[in-house]
Amino acid sequence: MAKGSTRQLNFHDFTDPTTGMRVTRLTPPEIISHRNYFYQKCFFTDGSQLMFGSEFDGTMNHWLVDLSTGLARQLTEGKGCNTHGAFLSPDDKHLYYVRNSDQLRRVDLQSLEEEVVYAVPELWKGAGTWVPNTACTKFAAMEIWDADRVTDCTGWERFTKQFYQTPRTRLIAIDGATGTAHTVLEQKVYMGHPMYRPFHDETMGFCHEGPHDLVDARMWLIDENGEHLRKVKTHAPGESCMHEFWVPDGSRMIYVSYVKGEQNRFVWAADPVTLKNEMLMPMPPCSHIMSNYDGTLLVGDGAGQLEDVSDQEGHAFEPDPYLHVFDLKSRTTQRICAHNTSWGEYKGSHQTSHPHPSFTPDDKRVLFTSDFEGMPAVYLADIPSF
């Protein structure tokens, strides 16, 4: 199908049997569809439209659906679209995505005209999810030396092999106006999760990637000019940290912490200036968490057995099939609904079936992916009141 093509989606409402909350399936369960990464903008600011990835024609591309009518419009065409890392601009006029791991592209949502914002230099490849600053004028990105990439396997096997490869990786800052970039930090370490601190372009974040129990210090900050590299947290014995994100107002970094052999996990936050780390509350064993704009609410997806650790037996726990909402003012939590996803790999991607929940702009519903009805599909669920 060509970009500009439209498709009528038939939304399906049902009631979650365990919580009584309304859940809406947006995409058909016989076709692979998924939402983007949980801290990337996917809704129009007024919540009226949603960007997602789908294989309606057998190839994964970006789509935009009007949530009042169900009419979806194809935004890209062809192979090589990174639909997990894509995001919308703050003014809702453009889609940004990476194609073939070597171009950051911008799509005009009205005309669908497409332009290359940045091209990865020869001998390098783009890696992971690229993240804009608040104004969407700069982009935090990772590049990996092409010869160091693991390409003979997929999913978590590739993830683990890439860690042991100790690839030459660099954090870069891309200028969206000029299409140029400068290297902020280069290391012979598997790095990921490049981010700008919201409203503070002088601060960037990244992680040391790999099996969580083999990474001794995951989260790092550095000034955009390449100075003042600092560790966000020194892990306690047996502790792993993961899925860090910036509260959208830029106030702090929040992340998941867990200890080998324990069922519960913990929500922690780090002050980006003082680097003081604070445990906010215990929680069920969620994999990903994300906050609303000011960090007063969190949503998390109960996890399946960990595959991103080396000692899977030692990290075994009782899987949790629910989405949870957390009120950080009262330190209370409620179940939203069962996501019941398999966490399985689809066509080489171990991300496609991950729920990756986040809030709608009005904080009334949460968006997530699940394959419990067949192929991965995109859902919205109402949030219970506290």
SS (H, E, C) the chain: CCCCCEEECCCEEEECCCCCCEEEECCCCCCCEECCCCCCCCECCCCCEEEEEECCCCCCEEEEEECCCCEEEECCCCCCECCCCCEECCCCCEEEEEECCCEEEEEECCCCCEEEEEECCCCEEEEEEEEECCCCCEEEEEEEEHHHCCCCCCHHHHHHHHHHHCCEEEEEEEECCCCCEEEEEEEECCEEEEEEECCEEEEEEEEECCCHHHCCCCEEEEECCCCCCEECCCCCCCEEEEEEEECCCCCCEEEEEEECCCCCEEEEEECCCCCCEEEEEEECCEEEEEECCCCCEEEEEECCCCCCCCCCCCCCCCCCCEEEEEECCCCEEEEEEECCCCCCCECCECCCCCCCCEECCCCCEEEEEECCCCCCEEEEEECCCC
User: What is the pLDDT at residue 307?
Assistant: 84
Q: Which residue has the tokens 């179940």?
A: 335
Phi, psi of 345 (to 5 degrees): -90, 135
Whole-number pLDDT of residue 386: 84
Angle at 115 between CA 26 and CA 35, to 5 degrees: 20
And the tokens for 113?
A: 């005209």
Token couple for 58: 């057998």
pLDDT at 314: 86
* Residue of 338, 283, 342 lying closest to 307 (CA atoms): 342
For residue 313, the model assigns a pLDDT of: 86
Write the CA distances from 23 to 13, 14, 19, 20, integer angstroms. 6, 5, 11, 9
Handedness of CA 80, 159, 280, 381 (dihedral sign): positive
Give the separation between CA 124 and CA 146, rounded to whole angstroms: 5
Residue 311 neighbours by CB under 8 Å, 6+ apart = 213, 260
Residue 214 region by backbone torsions, left for phi larger than 0, else alpha for psi between -120 and 50, else beta: alpha
Using CA atoms, how far residue 377 sits from 12, 96, 352, 368, in Å, is: 12, 22, 9, 8
Whole-number pLDDT of residue 305: 86
Encode the chain (386 residues) as per-residue pLDDT tens digits.
899 999 999 999 999 999 999 999 999 999 999 999 999 999 999 999 999 999 999 999 999 999 999 999 999 999 999 999 999 999 999 999 999 999 999 999 999 999 999 999 999 999 999 999 999 999 999 999 999 999 999 999 999 999 999 999 999 999 999 999 999 999 999 999 999 999 999 999 999 999 999 999 999 999 999 999 999 999 999 999 999 999 999 999 999 999 998 999 999 999 999 999 999 999 999 999 999 999 999 999 999 988 888 988 888 889 999 999 999 999 999 999 999 999 999 999 989 999 999 999 999 999 999 999 999 999 999 999 98
Phi, psi at 239, each rounded to 5°: -90, 145
Query: What does pTM read for this prediction?
Result: 0.97
pLDDT score for 308: 86
> CA Rg, the chain, in Å?
20
Q: Which of 340, 301, 337, 351 is nearest to 159 (CA)?
A: 351
